[in-house]
Chain A
Amino acid sequence: AQSVSQHNHHVILSEAASLELGCNYSYGGTVNLFWYVQYPGQHLQLLLKYFSGDPLVKGIKGFEAEFIKSKFSFNLRKPSVQWSDTAEYFCAVLSGNTGKLIFGQGTTLQVKP
């Protein structure tokens, strides 16, 4: 069965610091990968997704992620975080033929002003 692992459970950064959140998935075939964000008090929303093509994917709010097939990784990056990026971040993989998403444990990012 597919699984997703996020290594960092809680990350604390100062504003303007660079961010990289790790995500590894278990499946070796064709993968569709996602990063979702949940701001405090809000619902999950899509940051970016990878289906095929350019392995460097750009999303909203200056986020990007790189798909590295050989490492089974899809790490999320942002060069300079802001206080408003404080949120929980979830990596997910699409599983099977019914649209099922399998999520990682989530990473709580706290950005100090």
Chain B
Amino acid sequence: EPEVTQTPSHQVTQMGQEVILRCVPISNHLYFYWYRQILGQKVEFLVSFYNNEISEKSEIFDDQFSVERPDGSNFTLKIRSTKLEDSAMYFCASSGGTRTDTQYFGPGTRLTVL
């Protein structure tokens, strides 16, 4: 069965550094998402992406965050200058032809900002 994959599984970085989290969505999916979960808190929506542009972003998704689908297979989340409070598990998800199709989640990247 096709799966969403994410790399790396764990990323440790210094505050102020840039990080890029990578995701490979399921190949025929059209909708892509990033969520995050700070330890002990809810899974929170960050951004949705469709037709090569952001369709919605949350208040968390400020100017420090960006997403890209550079080559038709990868979907990346970049944080330009990481803060301590960016430490969280970041999940990528993708869904098929409509916004209501089931979202399939990747295993997550644990980001630790020191």
Contacts and interface: CB of A to CB of B under 8 A. Distances in A.
The yes or no verdict on A and B being binding partners is: yes
Interface of A: 32, 36, 42-46, 49, 51, 90, 92, 94-106
A98 B48 contact: yes
B107 A42 contact: yes
B106 interface: yes
12 contacts: A43-B106, A44-B91, A46-B102, A46-B104, A92-B43, A94-B99, A97-B99, A98-B56, A99-B48, A99-B95, A99-B103, A102-B45
A100 B100 CA distance: 9
A85 B56 CA distance: 34
Given A44-B105, A45-B105, A32 B42 contact: no
Interface in B89-114: 91, 93, 95, 99-100, 102-108
Contacts of B105: 36, 43-45
B31 interface: yes
B35 interface: yes
B42 A101 contact: no
A36 B104 CA distance: 10
Nearest 9 pairs between A and B by C-beta?
A99-B99, A98-B56, A44-B105, A98-B55, A103-B43, A43-B107, A98-B48, A100-B45, A43-B105
A32 B100 contact: yes
Given A98-B48, A98-B55, A105 B42 contact: yes
Nearest to A104: B42
Contacts of A105: 41-42
A99 B31 contact: yes
